[in-house]
Structure 1
Amino acid sequence: MGLILCKWLIGAWAMLLHPFYVSVTEIRHNAAQQELQVSSRIFYDDLERTLKTEYKTPVDILHPANRKTVDGLIADYLGKHLRITIDGKPLALHYLGYQIEEDAAWCFLEVKGIAGVKKVHIINDILYTEHPEQINMMHVVVKDVRKSTKLDNPERVADFVF
């Protein structure tokens, strides 16, 4: 029993030394509203650190002195590191905002005027420069069909056909 507890404690300690770096992005086509709804769940401390490094400015996501400035940084960062093409047409994602839930920042984006979706091409390298071991999970939902994949840094491209 003592040996099992000791192995468990060593495993738990090792996990603390090697934290997980994971984001989850869901892209959902809402046919009724003819829009693409995008949400990305990113650990807020990792996002904050990445924004500080990339934009060389202090960033406080939890208690921003100026929410509009933080929103602008996140919008610009996601615009550079999450790119979506639908049926061969690159999209301009419209950033809606973010909210904090537990240890994550949920970032919301949309694209209006998307009547149908057959092929989805995604380039996602969120947090790759900051974390070589970053994993980005991708979920795409079209007509209630959900397809998923995992991108391990440096993989950044995912394609879905519906």
Structure 2
Amino acid sequence: MPQLLLLFWLNIFHPFYVSVTEIVHHKSTGTVQVSVRVFFDDFEKVLERKYKKKVNILKPSNREEIESLIAIYIKDHLKIKANGKALDLKFQGYEIEEDAAWCYFETPKVKAIKEFHIENDILFDQHSSQSNMIHAIVDGKRKSTKLDNPKKEVIFTY
């Protein structure tokens, strides 16, 4: 019981800040699908500060505008190269799951992937203790890492 109480107090006074990005190359279609999970309250704060607008991801008065802000922010803070070539992330939309927003992107067709070079500093400007989990899957091979602010780059080879 004392351990449980300690964990409770640590979560109140030392919240953790983490995002999850999953990158999957689908051999059948040739596309790369990217999903980014961020806590929506932190995400709203960073979007409001950056774009000087009130942002409500849960109940947007103008969903198109919110989607545009989300797409611009993530594309500015998540850069992915496959085999040395920058991927063009096309925003597909977002959804809310519990306390997080899942943001979805897809790329045009990419040939066989030998290497992903990923730069991810999502919410680094919001929290000095931000960590970003990265999972990349190519031909069923999963590679993962955690990028702790300020480290923002990783290269996965397949």
What TM-score, normalized by structure 1, do the two folds share? 0.94
- Name the counterpart of 1:110: 106
Aligned residues: 158
Letter in 2 for 1:73: L
Residue 129 of structure 1 aligns with which residue?
Answer: 125
Structure-1 separation of matches of 2:83 and 2:2: 54
The within-5 A match list for 1:1-162 is 5-6=1-2, 8-162=4-158
Task: Look up the equivalent residue of 1:16 and give its one-letter code.
Answer: I
Q: Secondary structure at the match of 2:95?
A: strand
Cα shift readout 1:66-95 (whole Å, capped 9, x = no counterpart): 000000000000110000001010112111
Q: Distance in 2 between matches of 1:29 and 1:137?
A: 18
The gaps in structure 1 that reach 5 residues or longer are none
Alpha-carbon spacing, 1:88–1:13, altered in 2? closer, same or farther (3 Å) = same
Contact 2:22 2:36 survives alignment (8 Å): yes
Structure 1 runs of 4+ with >4 Å offset: none
Normalising by structure 2, report the TM-score: 0.97
Shift of 1:18: 1.0
Give me the whole-angstrom Cα distance separating, in 2, the residues matched to 1:7 and 1:144: 39
- Aligned alpha-carbon RMSD (Å): 1.0
1:124 partner amino acid: N
* Matched-pair identity in %: 47
